[in-house]
Amino acid sequence: MSGLFRISFQGLPDPRTGNARRHDFLDVLTIALTASICGAESCVDFALFARDRRALFEEFLELAGGLPSHDTFSRIFRLLDPSAFARCFEQFLGHLGEDGAGVLAIDGKTLRRSFDRAAGRSALHVVTAFASGARMVVGQRAVAAGENEITAARALLELFDLKGVLVTGDALHCQGETARLIQKRGGDWLFPLKDNRPTLRAEVERYFTDPATVLGDAHVTTDADHGRVEVRRHWTSPEVAWLVSDRRFPDEAPLPGLATLGLIERTVTGADQRTTTTRTLYLSSAQLDAKALAKAVRSHWTIEAAVHWVLDTSFDEDRARNRKDHGPENLAVLRKLALNVVRAANNTDSIRARRKRAGWSDEYARAILGQMR
């Protein structure tokens, strides 16, 4: 692993000074990433794992300064520049072969236990970019003081060449400036239309409910699980000229490049046979038919199951207690690095099982880490 890892991270500035540089900087990061892949969840865990697996690390690290302590791991992740760490993260993904095409889902998540009440610091909120086709996290950015999720997402999107990419987000990101940025970077956008744009939503909703509106056949999908059945009906319309030229709601003017209106109706029947129906409106700059809308929206929500849920259940992220300085943000990057490496190991085990087996077996760990050489 160390060869590929060093190529990607060799330009990362070492935040330590003087005698604190006893341990090779990239050795410490390599041990932390390997330990995280194998189930470690904290700086104390990283140090314990290094001690227990010293023979494994001696196969590809020199360890001239011996094994780092948990204080060494903690100091590095507290002081490390998170922006520089994130840039190296992106280079590392490039070496793993991420092509960037398809749907890029943008979504925010709060690390609930990262708050520091004594220092008056709120919990860290991180915006993640997830390439749903490759099922890889391709970037993250923390919401800085004075920012919000919208501005943090724009800063993250500025890092990508979005040619051939459909960027999706929740209704919070249904903003003209965000849409313009995506198009400037060469991509298309798809956002739900909800109550944060009430007048525009009312106009589009009226269009879909007007008996005079002619729509094609719905694309229908059905999911059934644990006695719960969900039927989704999807419609799209390219008739946007009336909306683009309408000036009745200048404060909520349509997003630039608008090409498609979408509607998804979800009917859920529970195990108790009670039925509920909800309708969600969508706007997009891409020309989408009903089937393409269904695929894109489903791709967006994979970020919940493939990233947020996995980080919470397999990496225990919501209970991560690191709170000092840049520690929470840098360890969030490290967890996503580990998730990508584990997911890139093509076998039939679950993410949780892959991490456990890597922790139990040196042979299994080498098989996962071998792809990074």
Averaged over 169-198, what is the pLDDT? Answer: 94
Residue 98's pLDDT band (boundaries 50, 70, 90)? very low
Q: What is the pLDDT of residue 237?
A: 96
What gap in Å lies between CA 88 and CA 13, rounded to an integer? 11
Partners of residue 166 on adjacent β-strands: 103, 188
- On the question of pLDDT at 100 being above 50, the answer is no
Q: What is the pLDDT of residue 188?
A: 96
The more confident residue out of 108 and 52 is 52
Which residue ranges make up each domain of the chain?
Answer: 3-83+325-372
Averaged over 200-214, what is the pLDDT? Answer: 92
Q: What is the pLDDT of residue 371?
A: 57
> Picking from 14-23, 189-198, 199-208, 321-330, which range would have the lowest pLDDT averaged per residue?
321-330
Q: What is the pLDDT of residue 95?
A: 53
HSE (CB half, 13 Å, CA atoms) of 56?
Answer: 23
Residue 69's pLDDT band (boundaries 50, 70, 90)? very high
Q: What average pLDDT does the chain have?
A: 82
Averaged over 210-229, what is the pLDDT? Answer: 88
Helix, strand, coil percentages, rounded to 5, for the chain: 45, 20, 35
What gap in Å lies between CA 164 and CA 170, rounded to an integer? 20
- On the question of pLDDT at 308 being above 80, the answer is no
pTM value?
A: 0.69
Nearest residue to 106 (alpha-carbon basis) of 44, 172, 153 = 153
- On the question of pLDDT at 222 being above 90, the answer is yes
Residue 312 sits at the vertex; the CA angle it makes with 76 and 302, to the nearest 5 degrees, is 115
Reported as a single tens digit per residue, the pLDDT across 153-168 is: 999 898 888 888 999 9
Reported as a single tens digit per residue, the pLDDT across 273-294 is: 899 999 999 999 999 999 999 9
Single-letter residue type at 246: D
Q: What is the pLDDT of residue 361?
A: 83
Q: What is the pLDDT of residue 117?
A: 46
